[in-house]
A and B are shown apart, each in its own frame.
Chain A
Amino acid sequence: MATEAHPAVHHAPQGFWRKYIFSTDHKVIGIQYYLLALVAVFVGMFLSLLMRFHLAWPTEEVPFFGAMTPEQYLALMTMHGTIMVFFVLTTAPQSGFGNYFLPIQIGAADMAFPVLNMLSFWLTFVAFLVLLAAFFVTGGAPISGWTGYAPLSALGEIAGPGLGLGQTLWVVSLAIFSGASLMGALNFITTTLDLRTRGMSLLRMPLTVWAWFITAILALLAFAVLLAAGLLLLLDRHAGTSFFIPGGLVVSDKQIPHTGGSPLLWQHLFWFFGHPEVYIAILPGMGVVSHILSCFSRKPIFGYKAMVLAMSAIAFLGLMVWGHHMFMSGMSPYSAFAFSLLTMSIGVPSAIKTFNWLGTLWGGRIQFTTAMLFATGFVSLFVTGGLSGIFLAQPTVDIYLHDTYFVVAHFHIIMGVAAIFGIFAGTYFWFPKMFGRFLNEGIGKVHFWLTFVGVYAIFMPMHFIALAGHPRRYADNTAVSFLEPMASVHYFMTIAAFITIGAQLLFLFNFFWGLWKGSKAEEINPWHATTLEWTVPSPPPHDNFAGHVPAVYRGPYEYSVPGAEKDFTPQHLPEPQAAAGDD
């Protein structure tokens, strides 16, 4: 436990470049990450609209695109997945909010290694540009999916459009992103371990901090493996090695000179990263949602320690279940059984979390702010997506469902949309702290309901067409006769996607309108919350606590303490003040 962190006596740099661009201030870096994710999410959504349009009207020319070939459809799918998973779901909840609020919530003046922090962001930015460049090179973007399965991803341009330079840029982008994530993870963990202020013991940390901390540990272990896998893939592509390319392949009527490599080796390495990545995306959301549910239920979080243990268990088990992505690969049924059992056991800590969220809500004086709506929406989506996960965790069921829209529905709901709801909840909750102005609650509530109903309208029908045998990754559903009756469902999902994505323009408007015209956050603690970020001005000064070192005397969720005058007791209040309920 570190208590000797010195007060920050450094002042904000005044020059534009040092202050806003190459800043080492964790708050600026957090906002930079957030804005990067905001750009990325709109690029990713635009790609999904192009795909959805094509699925609903396969013979029509797609607006802003033209006629779409199957290869182009796969390229859009690959880029949509890669952009969303890495540059949105990994970037905003962890690097964005985590950077901004982790140091403040533990009472630190900045991250442990501010220059490294800046480097992490700018490498992530470069990785994003490198990835987007794949659209503009000969052959276009890669078509091998966000999982980049070998040998398709390893063979080079002979295997199809986008598999030349486009695929190389994809691998390089992921390698850069991995390096940036490793540096970020190192910073998060060190900061949490060594820069906590006086009294901030581990079990007084807000659950958001626990979530970012555990996520950083996962990222440290997982991205190192992705980096190694990416290196081997690059060598297969450009140095003639045969790590992943099997012998005897004939591609485009040409015998491939590689020998003896194993595509399954890529799958193992990729999913050893890829499964923890799912938790890297969702764990920060769990932290944010716990934080917000407690605040707007005006109750302590139900089972704080159980929440910490459950998150740790989810992360720990998450490192050992990568094989459940590979039930179809011909793995030994014994291995599949072990992976299946471990996977389903994740249901236990997940259920603990869900029950604790409901327990927090139970009997609370619930305030349905927009942030609260999104937090409860997260719980709904987490349950829905989690339940379909139990289906897929069983090899016998997965063999039927694996290549269908069931998987698309599952991971979009649990990993995509739930995590996005966590981001929205955090945005509506923390916006006044970050920018000193509120987002409009009225627009926010319309945004919530359109999004909440919209995402269910998009993704629930996918379960049903999957049960009818609809394969995923098909660019043209009219080419196969048994899919024809499902065309109307595609039509419905596409309309739902247009409306839902249209609703995000409301959010975009609210965000930028709020930045300049939103009502001012006069109070420093408008939600009457308990953690340290609500004890500093909005936005906080450059060094967060204006030269002070805060001290902490209690846990993070002391709402409605019996005998206290007010229904919230901030963490920094010593006992005498707390007894009087004075803030």
Chain B
Amino acid sequence: MTARSATDGLELLELGHDDRGPAPPEGRERGDLRPPRIPQHAYLTGLVLALAGILMFFLALVSAFVVRKGLGGDWAATPVPGILWFNTAILVISSVTLERARRGLTAADDSGFRAWWGVTTALGVAFLAGQIVAWRQLAEAGVFLATNPSSSFFYVLTGAHGLHLLGGVLALAVVGLRGDPPEARLPRSTAARVAGVYWHFMGLLWVCVFLLLLLGQ
């Protein structure tokens, strides 16, 4: 057993000849306090994992919905406000406009990207506003959170989805307003891709929630 000095580790690392990594990425200097860059696809990995967690959260609520409904007795179906059809259409269209914006990004058409991205963000805000209208309509009809287990789930599911979608709207707004600073750890193309996948997922999730509220009660 040989005693080794504290610098041995670094020498050891050099033994493999090619152990020195590539030069610092462009736009970075020694003394940079920011965390190192990571491969761009790691952002997508992170997002997919976040979506897995979100999916489990909603699956737990949906399984509770199914079990609670199965207990019968006090369950009375909550009427689905008609405006939800309109909101659903808005969200589906927003997924299309988002893809249109991303095409602009690929084609280096900055104004096209900004315009369609802005439209998508606006549609997201419109959806949220529409959901608030739906809640108000229900409240005016005397259907509140605690009125019935069915209405409880209606508010919980739409509320939880709305909060997640609000996060998506904020992400869209940030990506749209931020531009594409060259020194950013997260370039605009990756940010737009990640925000886009999140947005599509929120759209799909909404369709599932809507179908459950429409047909599952």
Contacts and interface: CB of A to CB of B under 8 A. Distances in A.
A228 B57 contact: yes
A170 to B, nearest CB: 19
Contact of A260 (B13, B20, B58, B74): B74
A548 B21 contact: yes
Interface in B70-97: 71, 73-75
Given A6-B22, A6-B24, A109 B36 contact: yes
Interface string B10-47: 10111110111110110011111111111101100110
Nearest to A553: B16
A189 B68 contact: no
B141 interface: no
A547 B36 CA distance: 10
A9 B24 CA distance: 7
Nearest to B73: A260
A27 to B, nearest CB: 13
A528 B1 contact: yes
Contacts of B20: 7, 548-549
B41 A224 contact: no
A461 B21 CA distance: 58
A83 to B, nearest CB: 24
Contacts of A115: 35
A369 interface: no
Contacts of A113: 46
A229 B152 contact: no
A195 interface: yes
Nearest to B13: A548
B61 interface: yes
B64 interface: yes
B52 interface: yes
A231 interface: yes
Contacts of A231: 156, 160
Contacts of B209: none
Given A241-B145, A528-B1, A186 B46 contact: yes
Interface residues of B, number: 63
B27 to A, nearest CB: 11
B64 A269 contact: yes
Contact of A190 (B49, B53, B58, B152): B49
A5 B60 contact: no
B146 interface: yes
A490 to B, nearest CB: 40
B33 A186 contact: no
B36 A10 contact: yes
A243 B150 CA distance: 10
B39 A5 contact: yes
B106 interface: no
A112 B42 contact: yes
B178 interface: no
A225 B34 CA distance: 34
Given A186-B50, A221-B56, A547-B21, A5 B13 contact: no
A523 B53 contact: no
* Most chain A CB inside 10 Å of its own CB: which residue of B41, B46, B61, B73: B46
Contacts of B14: 548
A547 B14 CA distance: 12
Given A186-B50, A269-B60, A241 B149 contact: yes
B12 to A, nearest CB: 5
A265 B61 CA distance: 11
Interface string A182-199: 100111011001110000
Given A269-B63, A525-B8, 6 more contacts: A5-B36, A220-B53, A243-B152, A536-B10, A549-B22, A551-B18
16 contacts: A2-B41, A110-B35, A186-B50, A189-B45, A193-B45, A232-B156, A239-B145, A241-B145, A243-B68, A260-B73, A524-B4, A535-B12, A537-B6, A549-B22, A551-B19, A573-B16
